[in-house]
A and B are shown apart, each in its own frame.
Chain A
Amino acid sequence: MAYLDINNVVKRYEGHTALNGVSMQVEQGTIYGLLGPNGAGKSTLIRIINRILAADEGTVTLNGKKMTDDDIAHIGYLPEERGLYKKMKVGDHIVYLGRLKGMTKADAVASMHWWLDRFDLKEWENKKVENLSKGMQQKVQFIGTVIHRPPLLIFDEPFSGFDPVNAEQLKVEILALRDQGSTILFSTHNMASVEEVCQQITLLNHAQVVLTGSVDEVKQQHKKNIIAVQTPDKIEANDALFTILPPDPIKKNDKLIKLAAGVNVRDAISWLNEHYLLTGFTEVLPSMNEIFIETVKSKNAENNE
């Protein structure tokens, strides 16, 4: 049984349905990407998991048990729209968030010191939040999310607002948390980061799951049978086997061929090998970005019909 099991969740608002029978299973110790265009229902789903909102139908189970209010102590949540009390001192603020999650004062203080040290923010402990740069505030926010070492972490657009250096540090921390056994649910538009860190994804569109699976599976499902061929020769099309595609503007030296229907890679490559000097070839898999755009567009087109 999955660590976090969302089963057929429905959430209706006046006039529209935000989630229409959404299910997904998040395995323990993995990073799970929750994707989808704006308004697809990601934030609603995350708020239901956090028990900020209640589902109209369906169940959410955590570690095999139906979630209750007490379970929010096991969750660390970094919302997309996030902020801090500007007038509070950094240390007090982190301790406050930790204690709200049920930590004792001593535990929260110790954990706060450990994390401030790790992020090189030690000398800011007694400064007010408003005196920190935006990047530092984001770090404090992150510490506030993980201070109680929750087994389930939910990050909504964690990298927005971070510069590349800090984003990299954040990524390292997130991967470290996963390696320590935390389960991470990750909601984002940033497809590059999805490919880098996520094992599994679910794509929501118009309140429904339109795509789900491991990143590798999804890529295999969406491959277009395109092969990048490296050869100094000029390749002519062979209509029985493949057509020639215009080259990728970034990798101009690779020649792109698209296999004809029913042709397997081995036949095409052996034919090419006979006729040209072949120095290498790779199968081109679509990026998550392409899959995202393609899936959302085709689903929207279906809905419009």
Chain B
Amino acid sequence: MNKLGLIIAREYMSIVGRKSFIFVTLGMPLLFILIMAVPIGLAYLNDKGSDVQQIAVIDETGRYAAALHSDDMYHFVAIKGDTVTNAREFYDKANGSLDAIVIIPHDVDSTGAVNIYSEGTITPAMVMNIRNALTDTIESAHLAEMGIPNIQQMVEKAHVNVDVRSIKWSESGEQESSTDVAMGLGFMLSLITYMFVLMYGAMIMNSVIEEKTNRIVEVVVSSCRPFQLMLGKIIGVGLVGLTQMAIWIVLLAIVGTVAGSVFGISNMSSPDAIVAGTNAGAAVEAATDAGVMDSFMREVLSINYVPIILNFLLYFIGGYLLYSSLFAGLGSAVDQPSDSSQFVTPVIMIMLIAFYAGMVCMENPTGPTAVWCSIIPFTSPVVMMVRLPFGVPTWQLILSLALLFGTALAITWLAARIYRRGILHYGQKASLKDLFKWMK
């Protein structure tokens, strides 16, 4: 094995062999699940833990109180409008057994306004519950008043959700494309690139600083070229990242297969369908969902993945090389991780700009910001990911890739020059000026 291979192998094993690697690799998906599950769980506990709210409904019209149905959270008691003259007195007399009073005024049909009174807190959930129930009922009542037979059905029939399908003309003819799925895919790819570059860039920097503080670095560079050490690190850590991704993909596949067989639902990827399926009496909803699923699947399948994945890999490698060598060069200039922030902050700022540019480009993937940011090498690895699913003109791809790889190699070369000097520089903190001197 040559020296570069040895260095790569050591770097790889030094991270993968650690307990923390297994911990992080398995912990990250759990963390994501927790981040998603905790708010839902908390909301559930919040609702479950609160007492049933007693709400008196004073219906001056005498027609709409029935629209408010009692459930686990709210218990509505209808009270004839003419029996109560003073709502405040009524509330006080109830001596705390009432949480709120809803007054539906006799002119609700014209004003469309009802009032809720309470000494306690009126929660947004309560307001929403009452608003939804009354809106539907009063709307139906208005329609019925018009005296046109079957108006309800007519209105429902007239109601339409326009499905805008985008069809792309290409050399191979017409091809249905999807903006929603393309957007989702673009977002996912750019997020992966962004996270990967930041996470593993930081890992490389720490590894460089560690070797410096350990003082092992001089022993190692007396056996190999500093460039070999730097490159070995970049490749070794990159392989660690790929290993981690591979493990996550395998985990995802296992979880997906297990979940699929447990629920026995063919449309695995639709959470709506799963939720609907568990709800008794939601068969109709499930059926319409299946229709939505069909078009969703059609959209998913309509994307040509091969060029996207190939380009993703190219941009991923270019972007990783660019930023990781930057991090390695900067790491070599400091003695302690805590000193690195002055150099790292600008790099993270550039990454953030790239990320935000990516967000902007999702709305308009062919706008000037999108085009320029997908050609400028420092932002292109993230921004081009957003554009890829929508299709990018070949000349832009070639220009952008050429610039990215040209810049990545130039930065690697400059970083190697900084690294060569930086790793043997101890004591006085290197300034940006020093870094420029070292590049010469």
Binding site for B on A (CB under 8 A): 14, 47, 50-52, 69, 72, 75, 77-79, 81-88, 96-97, 99-101, 141, 144-145
Closest B residue to A77 by CB, please name it. Answer: B222
Closest A residue to B225 by CB, please name it. Answer: A69
Closest A residue to B1 by CB, please name it. Answer: A99
A203 to B216, CA, bound (A): 28
Contact B219 A97 (CB under 8 A): yes
For B18, what are the chain A residues with a Cβ–Cβ distance below 8 Å? Answer: 87
A47 to B219, CA, bound (A): 11
A91 vs chain B, min Cβ distance (A): 14
Number of B residues near A (Cβ < 8 Å) is: 23
In the assembled complex, B63 has its CB within 8 A of some CB on chain A:
no
In the assembled complex, B47 has its CB within 8 A of some CB on chain A:
no
In the assembled complex, B10 has its CB within 8 A of some CB on chain A:
yes
B110 vs chain A, min Cβ distance (A): 78
Contact B6 A52 (CB under 8 A): no
A161 vs chain B, min Cβ distance (A): 12
For B214, what are the chain A residues with a Cβ–Cβ distance below 8 Å? Answer: 83-86
Contact B216 A14 (CB under 8 A): no
A175 to B424, CA, bound (A): 30
Which of B14, B211, B219 has the most A CB atoms < 10 Å from its CB? Answer: B219
Other-chain residue from A50, A85, A100 in contact with B14 (beta carbon distance below 8 A): A85
Contact B424 A52 (CB under 8 A): yes
For A88, what are the chain B residues with a Cβ–Cβ distance below 8 Å? Answer: 10, 14
Which of A51, A69, A88, A99 has the most B CB atoms < 10 Å from its CB? Answer: A99
Binary contact readout B210-247 vs A (1 if CB under 8 angstroms, 0 otherwise): 01001110111111111000000000000000000000
For B218, what are the chain A residues with a Cβ–Cβ distance below 8 Å? Answer: 52, 77, 79, 81-82
A164 vs chain B, min Cβ distance (A): 23
In the assembled complex, B426 has its CB within 8 A of some CB on chain A:
yes
Closest A residue to B438 by CB, please name it. Answer: A14
A97 to B330, CA, bound (A): 26
For A85, what are the chain B residues with a Cβ–Cβ distance below 8 Å? Answer: 10, 14, 211, 214, 216
Judged by DSSP, the binding face of B is helix
Contact B219 A144 (CB under 8 A): yes
For B211, what are the chain A residues with a Cβ–Cβ distance below 8 Å? Answer: 85
**Knowing A47-B424, A87-B18, A88-B14 touch, does A100 contact B215 (C-beta < 8 A)?**
no
Which of A81, A88, A101 has the most B CB atoms < 10 Å from its CB? Answer: A81
For B224, what are the chain A residues with a Cβ–Cβ distance below 8 Å? Answer: 100
**Knowing A77-B222, A96-B6, A101-B223 touch, does A82 contact B215 (C-beta < 8 A)?**
yes
For B215, what are the chain A residues with a Cβ–Cβ distance below 8 Å? Answer: 79, 81-83
A144 to B424, CA, bound (A): 20
For A144, what are the chain B residues with a Cβ–Cβ distance below 8 Å? Answer: 219
A69 to B221, CA, bound (A): 11
Contact B216 A83 (CB under 8 A): yes
A141 to B218, CA, bound (A): 12
A261 to B205, CA, bound (A): 66
For B223, what are the chain A residues with a Cβ–Cβ distance below 8 Å? Answer: 72, 97, 100-101
Contact B219 A79 (CB under 8 A): yes
For A75, what are the chain B residues with a Cβ–Cβ distance below 8 Å? Answer: 222
For B165, what are the chain A residues with a Cβ–Cβ distance below 8 Å? Answer: none
For A14, what are the chain B residues with a Cβ–Cβ distance below 8 Å? Answer: 437
Other-chain residue from B10, B219, B226 in contact with A82 (beta carbon distance below 8 A): B219
- 26 CB contacts below 8 A, A to B, read A50-B222, A51-B222, A52-B221, A52-B222, A72-B222, A77-B218, A81-B218, A82-B215, A82-B216, A82-B218, A82-B219, A83-B216, A83-B219, A84-B214, A84-B216, A86-B214, A87-B18, A88-B10, A88-B14, A96-B6, A97-B219, A99-B6, A100-B6, A100-B224, A144-B219, A145-B219
